[in-house]
Structure 1
Amino acid sequence: MEYDKLVSKALEARKNSYSPYSKFKVGAAVLTEDGKIYTGCNIENASYGATNCAERTAIFKAVSEGHKTIKAIAIVGVENGYTYPCGICRQVIAEFASEDTEIILGKSENDYLVKTLDEILPGAFTKKDLEK
């Protein structure tokens, strides 16, 4: 997989962040099972509960276009550190992840970490648990 391309798309999406309260800009790019890329940024609201994270924005865009499985997601936030998804986003990633979904945490196109879902959300509660 071309991680640098996915990170680049996330960096581009970060530019559209609406974060007047936290000043913490985040961008995400989701790669679907058929190779399409959907991007998202964080969108804050004066009523903080109405805020939406970049990861969920990108995933919801993909799902709204008929994609139910993500192969990878790249997330970029601050330039001097790796930005991990929040707990809610980890759960949403788990909902649409395959067994080999990769989570890419990027600082730049050339500086990123690649994680598995189990590494960022061990013991995740998933739809498989509802079948028990």
Structure 2
Amino acid sequence: MRGHLFDDTAMSDLDTLRTRALQAAQQAYAPYSRLRVGAALRSTAGQVYTGCNVENASYTLGNCAERAAIAAAVQAEGAGFRLAAIAVTAFDSAGDVLPISPCGGCRQALVEFGEDATVSFRQPDAQWLEVTAGALLPHRFSFPER
């Protein structure tokens, strides 16, 4: 299942994001779950930003890779940042690839910055799946128009 059809240029761009996500995952601080997650995104301005998960002994204080990458992008580009694409990858302490999709909080953040953005992540067979952020969270939270 694919959310979009991509030309060769877009696929090589996704491959670049996937590679950068893997590199980011290797930097993760995950002493509790040993689940290393990395994300690499491309903004609509064409810039690439990465993030990794950072755990904390008080679990709810940890940070997801996707939101870390978004925070880096907002820091660099300001409130006008818009998401074009993001790749997310994860592996365990043995280095085995895990099928991890963005969590609910990250899905909300992705939609906020780019409902039509491409989101790429691994499936149980280790193949990549590409969908839009909006497809991941069709009934997102939003403030009513005022």
TM-score bucket of the superposed structures, by smaller chain: 0.7 to 0.9
Identity %: 41
How many residues were matched structurally?
Answer: 127
TM-score between both structures, scaled by the size of structure 2: 0.80
Distance (whole Å) between structure 2 residues aligned to residue 102 and residue 74 of structure 1: 8
Residues 1:91 and 2:108 aligned together? yes
Gaps of 5+ in 1: none
TM-score between both structures, scaled by the size of structure 1: 0.88
Residues 1:77 and 2:94 aligned together? no
Deviation at 1:105, TM superposition (A): 0.6
Structure 1 residue ranges (4+ consecutive) displaced by more than 6 angstroms after TM superposition:
none
RMSD of aligned alpha carbons: 1.8
Matched ranges for 1:1-132 at <5 A: 1=10, 2-67=13-78, 68-78=81-91, 79-97=96-114, 99-106=115-122, 111-126=127-142, 129-131=143-145
Instruction: Report SS of the residue matched to 1:6.
Output: helix
Gaps of 5+ in 2: 1-9
Structure of larger gyration radius: 2
Residue by residue over 1:101-131, the C-alpha shift from the partner in whole angstroms, topping out at 9 and shown as x without a partner, is: 1001147xx94110112321112223xx421
